[in-house]
Amino acid sequence: MSDAKMPGILELTPLNPAFNADPHALLDPLRSQCPVHRDAMAGVFILSKHADVRGTLSDTSMLRAPENAEEAAVMTRRGIGATPPPGLDIREDQPRHSILTMDEPEHMRVREPLAKALYKRVAKSKPLVQRVVEEWLDRIPASAGISAKPFDVMSAFAIRVPIDVIARLLGVDETRLMEFRDWSEGAILGFHPFPTPEQVERIVASNNALNRYMRGLMAERAANPKDDLTSDMMALKAQGANLTEGEICTNLIALLIGGNLTTTDLIGNAIWLLLTHPEQRARLAAEPGLINSCVEEVLRYESPVDITGRIAPRAMEVSGCPIHDRSSLIMELRAANRDPAAFPEPHRFDIARKDAPHVAFGGGTHLCIGAPLARLEAIVAIPAFFARWPGVRLADPAMKPEWRDLPFFRGLKRLDVVA
């Protein structure tokens, strides 16, 4: 289905001021009028109905590697054959893809041992997460009353917790956490499709530093294992797991970078939503057992990630629209998560909602590997924040939220509050 009046994929990013201000002003008409929309310029099909998105994500035959997309899929294939930025250190054993864009059977060969090791760690990590959360809350100056000084929740708390949690899970030396945070923030800029020369320079420096550090940590843990995820992965390799050191390094760094950005936004979006929906905040305070469903509703209502992609392995149909072999499909997760066919009153924030499952973490065999850790961090961080400051409020209730302009992600630049 194609309609020239419908927005293209680049218009459905925060680079478009209208989308940045209110994504659903564009996504609602797209989903209702043209749920399978061909963006000829980008060479992709945009899917926006929950049933189509969930069904496509659940289809294990779908492909992910950009090389499999047709030549017309210029957005999907944009990085193929591109010359790496000057100075980027690429090792001989460095894979072209992380598990995010690997196809089978290579995808599960790498993902399965990493997932088993990670999930085993996450299952016993609640005390670690609680400790990190309390440490960062302790660093925020206590204030109260009319003369209370505002602080930014994002820079003081939401950004801090995820990077420290994953760094400690990996086994990073705590004396180097500040460096690690800086490298992570620099590497995150690599998600921007149009970085400035200054940003490219920082991306290269940060990625090189992360690679050097991670390779050194892996060598150290291979020789002297400790109680951390890096030691787990090196032990699996020593026991015969079919993994290269380059694959381990690339995917541990991908876990760090992806989990840092999206979990920061999950925590920040949750605090903002509860501050702007006082009746839901009051309900959570009265019924703390709702924290799990609260986190799921935040993920549905204000998803940290806008899109994910798949490539058609054959000619097929989606909602009656013909899709040819090797077409690139972009799943609009944000649109799917506000589909009234799946979520009654989809624009109502309800922490006790029990409707269809959201698709904020994607789905199928490529379901976000860091989802259990992100959920754990949010489940711990959100109640702890409001327990520390029961009277916390927006510094300026009339101020409109300022969203970042990083394409395909949704998170606040700042969230100034008074406690």
Residues of the chain with pLDDT under 50: 1-2, 144-146
Q: Write out the E strands in 206-323.
A: 307-311, 316-318, 321-323
CATH class of 9-418: mainly alpha
Residue 170: which residues within 8 A CB-CB, separation 6 or more? 217, 228, 229, 230, 252, 256
Beta-carbon count within 10 A of 54 CB: 22
Note if the pTM is more than 0.75. yes
HSE-CB at 129 with a 13 A cutoff on CA atoms is: 23
Segment 288-337, tens digit of pLDDT: 999 999 999 999 999 999 999 999 999 999 999 999 999 999 999 999 99
Judge contact between 362 and 349, C-beta under 8 A: no
Helix (H, G, I), strand (E, B) or coil at 4: coil
pLDDT at 91: 85
Residue 89: the pLDDT is 85
Q: What is the reported pLDDT for 27?
A: 98
pLDDT on residue 399:
86
Residue 5 CB coordination number (10 Å): 7
Q: What is the pLDDT of residues 37-63, one digit of tens each?
A: 999 999 999 999 999 999 999 999 999
Q: Which residue in 408, 192, 412, 188 sits closest to 306, CA to CA?
A: 408
Give the domain ranges of the chain: 9-418
Short-list 101, 158, 165, CA closest to 128: 165
Instruction: Give the per-residue pLDDT at 56.
Output: 97
The neighbouring-strand residues paired with 39 are 44
Tell me the per-residue pLDDT of 194-239, one tens digit each, with 9 for 90 and over: 788 999 999 999 999 999 999 999 999 999 999 999 999 999 999 9
| 143 three-class SS | coil
Provide the pLDDT for residue 1: 44
